[in-house]
Amino acid sequence: MMVVALAGCGAGSDVSRTLGAICETSADCDGRCLPPSTDYPAGFCTVVCNASSECPDAATCVDDEGGACLFDCVDDASCAFLGTGWRCKERDVRGVAGGKAMVCHGD
């Protein structure tokens, strides 16, 4: 029971002004806001990056938007905490030639 409860609050509780908060402008975030769109439903606070080492834990720097940190995932269910319209998708890892990673992204 406790394990289930802890697992349930894992990724969702990592949402912050730095990564994952809902936003409309960058004033809503510590870094950059990816405004609401089909790619980023409800908006997404992110960190501008050139390498995954610049991202918070559980996030990878992908080539989208000129370099942005997005949450790692293994399947669509692991992106459910971001709300409707988010899926687990394969994206190009920034700074790693040919590198791919599964991250949460809009439909």
Binding site for other proteins (CB under 8 A): 12, 15-17, 20-23, 27-30, 42, 45, 81-83
> For other proteins, which is the closer residue by CB, 29 or 93?
29
> For other proteins, which is the closer residue by CB, 93 or 106?
106
Main-chain dihedrals φ then ψ at residue 69, nearest 5 degrees: -85, 130
Q: 62 and 91 in contact (C-beta within 8 Å)?
A: yes
Please, which residues have CB within 8 angstroms of residue 27's CB and are 6 or more apart in sequence? 33
Provide the minimum distance between the beta carbon of 1 and other proteins in the complex, in angstroms, as a whole number: 23
> For other proteins, which is the closer residue by CB, 22 or 58?
22
